[in-house]
Amino acid sequence: MSDILKRREIPIVITAFVGIVVILSYFISFDPLQSTASTFTSWGAVLVASMVFIGLINLCQVHLNHIRRREKGIWPFSAWLLVAMFGTIIIGLWAGVPWGTQNDAWVFIYTYINTSISQTIFSLFGFYVISASFHTLRARNLESVIFLISSFVIFFWAMPVGTYIWPGFSPLGDWFMNVLTAGVYRGILLGISLGLISFGIRVISGIERGYLRGGK
Amino acid sequence: MKTLQKNEVKVINAAVIIVIVFASLVPTGLPITISDPTIKMYDGLSSLKSGEVVWFSFDQVFVVLPEVKASIQAVLQHLFMIPGIKILITSSYADGPAIYEGMISVTNKYGKVYGTDYVFLGYVVGNELSIANLARDIKVTCPVDNYGTPLANLPMMDTINGAKDIARYVTITLGPQFYWYIRQVVAPYQIPMYTISVGYFLSEIMPFFASGQLSGYIVGLKGGAEYETLIGTKGLASRGADAMSLVYGLLMVAVVGVNINYLRKHKGGK
C-alpha cells in the first residue's frame, strides 16, 4: 500500500485534474464545474495561508543555525530578527483581546515602528536614484546624448509644473511612454505570458515535475 | 570649485534635502497640470449612480505608503463625497488593514455609516486565489467582516454577492497583484478598473490603459496632486508636488552644469 502511495503518478494526476477543472471553469458556464473549481481554489487559498507558518519555521531554522554556529557578523542580526519577530507575535496575541487592527499594542508596533523603519529605508532609494542619474546622464557619445535628451523630456513630462513651462512636453512625453515604453513592456508581457502558458501546459501534462522531489 | 567637483553627489543630496524642507515649510503653490488618465479615473468614479457598488482594494505595503498615501486619501475622500454609493473594501496584503484604519478616520467626513454605506472585509489570505474566490462568491469566501460581524448582519451586503454586483473596481497596485485583478476581475467580469500606483510601476500598467483593460490611473505624488485639484482640496499631495517640481528642476540644473563642465574639460578630444 505504501508503495502505491509513493508513486509519482498520483500527484501528477491530481495536478492535471485540478488544473483542467479550474481552467475549464473560466470558459464553460456549467454549475457543477463552477462549484468544483470554487472548492479547489478555496483549498488553494487555505494552503497559501498555511505557507505563512512554513515560512516562519524555515526562517527560525535558518537564523537559529546562524546563531548556533556563531557566524561572524551575522549571528547578532539573526538573534535580533528572532527577538523582534517573536516579540511582535507575543505582544500581538497576549496584549489582550481584541486582536488584529483593534489591538492597541499591535497598532503601536505597526504605526510607530514598522511604518517608520520601512518608509525610512525606502526613502533612501531616492538618493540612490539621484546619484545614479547624476553619474549616468553625461554626454559622452551620441547614444548618451540621445539618452540625456529623452531623460530631460521625461523629467519635464513627469514634473507637476512641467507642461506649464512648455505644453509640448505633454504630447512628447506621452509619445515616449505610450509608444516606446509601453511597446517594449507589451512585448515583455507577451513573452512572459506565452512562457507561463507553456509552463502551465507542461505542469498539467506531467512533463514538468520540478515540484516532485527535484523532478526525477 | 575643485572641492565642489570632488563632492558633487554629496552637495546635490544636501541641496535636495534643503529644497524638500523648504517646499514643505513654505508652500509655493506651483501650478499642477492634470493628465488624461487622472481625468478618466475622476470621471469614471464621478459617474457612479446611487446604489452602485465600488470595490476598493487596499493592496498596499507600508514601504511605499509615503508615495501613494495622499492619492489613496484623495480617492477615498472622493468616493465618500459621492452620495448614495456603497464601498466594499478588502485587502490582499497583511499591511492593508493597518493602512485602512489610518485612512478611514481622515477621509470619512461625509457622514457615511459603516455597515450601510461601506464595509471592510479585512485581509483575505490567498493572493490571486482569494481574489478569484471573492469575485465568484464574497459571502462564502469571507463570511464575516474585519471585526467579526457576520455579513448577514450588515445591510449593505444584502445585495452584494460577487463581482457581478460591482460597478467599479479601484485598487492600489505596486506589483504582481495588478495582474491578479486583471485576470480574475476585469477579464471575466468586464468591470471598469482604476488603479493608484507607484512611479516605478507606471511602465507596466500603461499597456493595459492603452488596451482599455485599465480605465484610468493615478501615479505617485503627482497623480495624487492632480486628483486633489479635481476634487477641490489641497492636501498632502499638492504640498509634495511643489517639492517634486523643485527637486526635478534642481536635478536638471545640476546635470546641465556637470555636462557643461565635462564638455569643457574634454573639449577638442583632450
ipTM value, please give it: 0.83
- Whether residue B99 has pLDDT greater than 70: yes
- Kindly state the cell numbers that stand for B228: 486633489
Give the one of B133, B244, B255 whose C-beta lies nearest to A38's C-beta. Answer: B133
Q: How many CB atoms lie within 10 A of CB A90?
A: 11
- The whole-number pLDDT of residue B268 equals 56
Amino acid present at A55: G
CA–CA gap between residue A186 and residue B204 (Å, rounded):
8
Looking at every residue in chain B, the average pLDDT score rounds to 88
**β-bridge partners, B196:** B172, B218
Q: What domains appear along chain B, each with residue ranges and CATH number?
A: 1-30+237-270 (no CATH), 32-234 (3.40.50.720)
Average pLDDT over residues B119-125: 91
Residue indicated by cell numbers 489610518: B102
What the block records as the C-alpha cell of A86 is: 517573536
How far is the C-alpha of A85 from the C-alpha of B247, rounded, in Å? 38
Rg of chain A over all Cα atoms, to the nearest angstrom: 26
Give kind and range of the element (H or E) at residue A19. Answer: helix A9-25
Count Cβ atoms below 10 Å from residue A170 Cβ, excluding itself.
Answer: 16
For position B5, what pLDDT does the model report?
A: 63
Q: Which residue of B has its CA nearest to A178?
A: B206
Contacts 24+ apart (CB under 8 A), B3-8: B5/B261, B8/A134, B8/B254, B8/B258
Q: Does B82 touch chain A (CB under 8 A)?
A: no
Q: Do the Cβ atoms of A134 and B9 come closer than 8 Å?
A: yes
Q: Do B254 and A159 touch (CB under 8 A)?
A: no
B120 has which bridge partners? Answer: B89
Ranges of H-type helices in B50-201: 65-81, 96-107, 128-136, 138-141, 177-181, 187-189
Domain boundaries, given as residue ranges, for chain A: 8-94, 137-209
Evaluate if residue A164 carries a pLDDT over 90. no
Nearest to A45 among B133, B188, B252 (CB): B133
Do A82 and A60 touch, CB atoms closer than 8 A? Answer: yes
Please count the other Cβ atoms lying within 10 Å of the Cβ belonging to residue B154. 18
Q: Residue B68 is placed in which grid cell?
A: 501613494
Nearest to A101 among B66, B98, B199 (CB): B98
- All three cell numbers of A44, joined, read 488553494
pLDDT one-digit tens code per residue, B11-39: 888 888 998 888 888 877 788 889 999 99
Alpha-carbon distance A127 to nearest alpha carbon in chain B (angstroms): 7
Q: Which residue has the higher pLDDT, A104 or B2?
A: A104
The model carries a pTM of 0.86
Q: How far is B245 from chain A (nearest CA, A)?
A: 5
Q: Which residues pair with B198 in a beta bridge?
A: none
pLDDT at A115 > cutoff 70: yes
Tell me the C-alpha distance between B251 and B265, whole Å: 21
Contact with chain A for residue B257, Cβ under 8 A? no
Nearest 5°: CA angle at A112, between A107 and A117? 125
CB contacts < 8 A (A, B):
155
Q: What is the pLDDT of residue B269?
A: 52
CB B56, CB B73: distance < 8 Å: no
Q: How far apart are CA B97 and CA B103, in angstroms?
A: 10
Q: What does the pLDDT read at residue A214? A: 55
Least confident of A98-107, A158-167, B124-133: A98-107
Q: What is the CA radius of gyration of chain B?
A: 22
Tell whether B106 lies on the interface with A, counting CB pairs under 8 A: no
Distance CA B165, CA B183 (A): 18
Instruction: Give pLDDT, residue B160.
Output: 94
**Mean pLDDT across the stretch A177-204?**
91
| More confident of the two residues A98 and B232 | B232
The pairing of beta strand B118-123 with beta strand B168-173: unpaired
Q: Higher-confidence residue: B177 or A4?
A: B177
- Among A52, A163, A185, the residue with its CB nearest the CB of B207 is A185
pLDDT (mean) for B219-248: 89
Long-range contacts of A165-173 (CB under 8 A, 24+ apart): A170/B33, A170/B35
pLDDT band at B156 (very low <50, low <70, confident <90, very high): very high
C-alpha cell at B53: 457598488
How many angstroms separate the Cα of A154 from the Cα of each of A151, A185, B55, B150, B238?
Answer: 5, 17, 33, 50, 20
Between B28 and A180, where is the model more confident? A180
Question: Is A188's pLDDT higher than 60?
Answer: yes
Region A138-161 average pLDDT = 89
Tell me which of B11-25, B180-194, B207-221 is least confident. Answer: B11-25
Sign of CA dihedral B141, B175, B179, B37: positive
Say how many Å lie between the first and final Cα of chain A, rounded: 22
In the block, which residue shows the cell 485583478? B181
Place A210 in a pLDDT band, splitting at 50, 70 and 90.
Answer: confident
Pick from A49, A90, A111: which is nearest to B100 by CA?
A111
CA torsion through residues A86, A90, A92, A95, sign: negative
**Using one digit for the tens of pLDDT, what is the confidence trace for A116-135?**
888 888 888 888 888 888 78
Which DSSP category does B126 fall into?
S
Which residues in chain B have their CB less than 8 angstroms from residue A108's CB?
Answer: none
B70-86 pLDDT, tens digit each: 899 999 999 999 999 99
Nearest to A186 among B102, B207, B251 (CB): B207
Give residue B270's pLDDT band: very low, low, confident or very high (50, 70, 90).
very low
Q: Are strands B118-123 and B216-219 parallel, antiparallel or unpaired?
A: unpaired
Compare all CA atoms of chain A with the CA of B99 and give the residue at the minimum distance: A111
Percent of chain B residues past pLDDT 70, beyond the cut: 96
Percent of chain B surpassing pLDDT 90: 46
Minimum mean pLDDT range among A86-90, A108-112, B137-141, B239-243: A108-112
In the block, residue with C-alpha cell 565635462? B262
The pLDDT assigned to A216 comes to 46
Statement: residue A106 has pLDDT above 80: no
Residues of B whose CB is below 8 A from A148: 255, 259
pLDDT at position B58 is 86
Per-residue pLDDT, B2: 64
Q: Cα B52–B56–B62 angle (5° rounding)?
A: 165
pLDDT at res. B224: 92
- Spell out which residues of chain B touch residue A127, defining contact as CB-CB under 8 Å: 13, 16
CB atoms within 10 A of CB B71: 29
Dihedral class, residue A73 (left if φ above 0, else alpha if ψ from -120 to 50, else beta): left
pLDDT score of A98 more than 90: no
Confidence of residue A96 (pLDDT cuts 50, 70, 90): low
Which secondary-structure segment (H or E) carries A7? Answer: none
CA distance A77 to chain B (A): 21
Taking alpha carbons only, the member of B91, B80, B146 closest to residue A100 is: B146
pLDDT of residue B53: 96
Mean pLDDT of A140-160: 90
* The pLDDT of residue A7 is above 80: no
The amino acid present at B42, given as its one-letter code, is Y
Q: According to the model, what pLDDT value does residue A215 have?
A: 47
CB contact under 8 A, B13 and A130: yes
